[in-house]
Amino acid sequence: MTDTPSAALADLLAIMARLRDPERGCPWDVQQDFASIAPYTIEEAYEVADAIDRGDFDDLREELGDLLLQVVFHAQMAAEQGRFDFADVAQAISAKMIRRHPHVFGDARYANLDAQKQAWEELKAAERAAKGEAHDASALAGISRGLPEWKRATKLQQRAATVGFDWPDHRPVLDKLAEEIDEVRAEFDAGADPARLEDEIGDVLFVVANLARHAGVDFSRALRHANAKFERRFRRMEQLAAEAGSSLAAHDLAAQEALWRRAKQDEG
């Protein structure tokens, strides 16, 4: 690390401004807008999480840079429109962190973590009111509709729990999950109406998110691990089939199941 953070950031801001220069910049970068860049922003955040999961800190450094570039990109486009710039973004989040942590930067004291969380929600509600947002007295007020749906499900459940609408532990959640799966089975037996199946499968997924919350398991991380495990075992199946002189597609389902079991065994 040779440059100071401010010097390194100044370089990045200058690079982004050059990339967006209508005459000397990159044609691809110049034609982008907020909507076209937003999917990349989401993708880079997930790649940061993946690097953390893998414990690859060299990759994490690179992925954090990619994510920072997304912030710089959006800020540059906003600056071009005279809306705000990167300094405004940094100043706004600094002010918000100080405002939302009066127990660190002020004289507030909380009896426990639950009290701190309650104060956090009250501060957020006050901020919404200060912005002139329509008053919403619901415990669910302010939960963004732009979140991934699994994340929004978890936040809805967390907010409902603040007023006591929650199961006491994981056991009734498991019972509810079994009930919802039975309802999916019933829909299949009744003819598998697409709209009804969507509704019932949605209920299953909502309860699974709730189960993860009660278990203290991060839903997204658990699913990433499941995806990685499936990919690892599937690739091993393909390898085993190739070692036997054939392709995986040449095996019937029973033979593929046998290869799947071997792949699991190989993981020990």
Q: What is the pLDDT of residues 32-85, one digit of tens each?
A: 999 999 999 999 998 998 899 889 999 999 999 999 999 999 999 999 999 999
Instruction: Report the C-alpha gap between 134 and 132 in whole angstroms.
Output: 6
Within a domain: 105: no
Q: Which distant-in-sequence residues (6+ apart) come within 8 Å of 21 by Cβ?
A: 30
Residue 132 burial (C-beta neighbours within 10 Å; 0-12, 13-18, 19+) = exposed
Within a domain: 259: yes
* Number of structural domains in the chain: 2
Confidence of residue 261 (pLDDT cuts 50, 70, 90): very high
For position 163, what pLDDT does the model report? Answer: 87
Q: For the domain that residue 11 is a member of, what is the CATH number?
A: 1.10.287.1080
- pLDDT for 1 beyond 70: no
Amino acid occupying residue 89: V
Within a domain: 194: no
Within a domain: 67: yes
Of 38, 73, 100, the domain-final residue = 100
For position 125, what pLDDT does the model report? Answer: 78
For position 22, what pLDDT does the model report? Answer: 95
Q: Tell me phi and psi for residue 223, to 5 degrees.
A: -70, -35
Residue ranges of alpha helices (H) inside 23-169 are 27-31, 34-54, 57-80, 86-100, 102-105, 113-130, 149-161
Instruction: Report the C-alpha gap between 61 and 47 in whole angstroms.
Output: 11
Which tokens go with 242? 């190739």
Of 83, 100, 117, the domain-final residue = 100
| Residue range(s) defining the domain that contains residue 84 | 5-100
Q: Which residue has the higher pLDDT, 127 or 197?
A: 197
- pLDDT for 105 beyond 90: yes
Within a domain: 52: yes
List the one residue out of 92, 115, 87 whose CA is nearest residue 103. Answer: 115
Confidence of residue 134 (pLDDT cuts 50, 70, 90): low
Within a domain: 243: yes
Q: Are 108 and 119 in contact (CB under 8 A)?
A: yes
For position 2, what pLDDT does the model report? Answer: 62
- pLDDT for 137 beyond 80: no
Confidence of residue 127 (pLDDT cuts 50, 70, 90): confident
Of 100, 125, 160, the domain-final residue = 100
List the one residue out of 90, 62, 78, 100 whose CA is nearest residue 16. Answer: 78
Within a domain: 128: no
Q: Which distant-in-sequence residues (6+ apart) come within 8 Å of 83 by Cβ?
A: none
Q: Which distant-in-sequence residues (6+ apart) come within 8 Å of 41 by Cβ?
A: 67, 70, 74
